[in-house]
Amino acid sequence: MRGQASPQSAMFSYVSLEERIPTSHPLRKLRLLVDSVLASMDDEFDAIYARVGRPSVPPERLLKALLLQILFSIRSERLLVESLDYNLLYRWFVGLGIDDAIWDHSTFSQNRDRLFNEGLARIFFERVKALAQWGKLTSSEHFSVDGTLIEAWASHKSFKPKDGSGPPTGPGRNPEVDFKGQRRINDTHASSTDPDAQLFRKSHGAEARLSHMSHVLMENRNGLVVDVDTTPANGTAEREAALRMIRRQCRRGATVGADKGYDTHDFVAGCRKAGVTPHVAAKRTGSALDGRTTRHAGYKSSLKVRKRIEEAFGWLKTVGGLRKTKLIGREKLAGQALLCFATYNLVRIGSLTGWWDAKHV
């Protein structure tokens, strides 16, 4: 018998939001992890809010909404707030009731700017890492390090001389500009859109773009990220950031794998000064390493495992949405990168422990 479509919608619903979410949905166990981390951050949240005044968007809900934006590659905060309004799964994950009013996107952005900074994001990242360490999923002996470019939210036309000179531009919102014959370098030019961005190219023949640089230290047992750093994009930033992360995270006797860009005398000497063995890919000529390091089987293992760090960068840029940042300024980007890699670690923890199928997250 053919069913009839009724145009009359029901006025009341007797099914709870909890019952709408499948018991096997991967976000159920992810929410348990996230709630446990956020519960441990009460003191940090209390410290950044006044005792009196109008209540803000609860910081726990704000951070869980930002996690959803990363997990589901939602391209903007306006679209995120719109999705929270009609998507029951998102409402449930954030902690909103089915009848709760959703925030305006501008209110959400203002609260995010006040709450979300590098310091708070690093606390969240460290608490997630502590979960992995408690579950004995991380190694304290073998690491890998690498860096990647993140394109800034700024165009070449915004890269102008610092003294205000330069060729005249035509009328209109997007005028024609001719850069031919000009020498445009970071010493004399800066972006009017994002002054922290640097004009940089990572390899010969590649296009120079206004960029920032993100760096990661990965433990080699399960490919979990244990430290993150965000710096200006320049030729020495990768090695300098790597040494900072090594000093923060690696104990004496550990090994650190890296690509040929780290095969320099200053980086190798810095590692050895920190008591860490540098397992960097050796150059054919002029290498800072010798047979004392490269002859061991552990060296070859480090060179093989270090390539897994590209999985984290690939996730950051495809799922996390940081192939090109939409945030202005390195401080905001640093916080976003920490939150992205914390989310990456949460997904890895779930798949490593068998709590969910990572293909469905």
d(CA 205, CA 184): 17
For residue 115, what are its two tokens?
């709450």
What pLDDT, on a 0 to 100 scale, did the predictor assign at position 8?
A: 65
For residue 251, what are its two tokens?
């104990």
Angle between the N-to-C axes of helices 77-86 and 105-115, in degrees from 0 to 180, rounded to the nearest 10: 120
Q: 83 Cβ partners below 8 Å, 6+ apart?
A: 74, 90
**Secondary structure (DSSP) of 39-72:** HTTHHHHHHTS-SSSS----HHHHHHHHHHHHHT
d(CA 112, CA 63): 8
pLDDT tens sequence for the chain (361 residues)? 666 666 766 666 667 888 888 888 889 989 999 999 999 998 888 888 778 877 778 889 999 999 999 999 999 999 999 999 999 999 999 998 888 888 888 888 888 887 778 889 999 999 999 999 999 999 999 999 999 999 999 988 888 888 877 666 666 677 777 777 778 888 888 998 999 999 998 877 788 899 999 999 999 999 999 999 999 999 899 999 999 999 999 999 999 999 999 999 999 999 999 999 999 999 989 999 988 888 899 999 999 999 999 999 999 999 999 999 999 999 999 999 999 999 999 999 999 988 776 555 5
The residues pairing with 215 across neighbouring beta strands, listed in sequence order, are 147, 229
Q: Can you tell me whether residue 12 is helix, strand or coil? A: coil
Where along the chain do its domains lie? 17-116, 139-153+211-330
What pLDDT, on a 0 to 100 scale, did the predictor assign at position 53?
A: 78
What pLDDT, on a 0 to 100 scale, did the predictor assign at position 4?
A: 66
For residue 318, what are its two tokens?
């495809």
Q: Can you tell me whether residue 14 is helix, strand or coil? A: coil
**What's at 284, amino acid-wise?**
R
CATH of domain 139-153+211-330: 3.30.420
Q: Where are the alpha helices (DSSP H) in 230-278?
A: 237-249, 265-273
pTM: 0.91
What pLDDT, on a 0 to 100 scale, did the predictor assign at position 161?
A: 86
CB atoms within 10 A of CB 88: 12
What pLDDT, on a 0 to 100 scale, did the predictor assign at position 167?
A: 61
The alpha-carbon radius of gyration of the chain (Å, integer) is 24
Q: What angle do CA 319, 325, 327 make, to 5 degrees?
A: 125
Are the CB atoms for 30 and 131 separated by under 8 Å?
no
What pLDDT, on a 0 to 100 scale, did the predictor assign at position 334?
A: 94
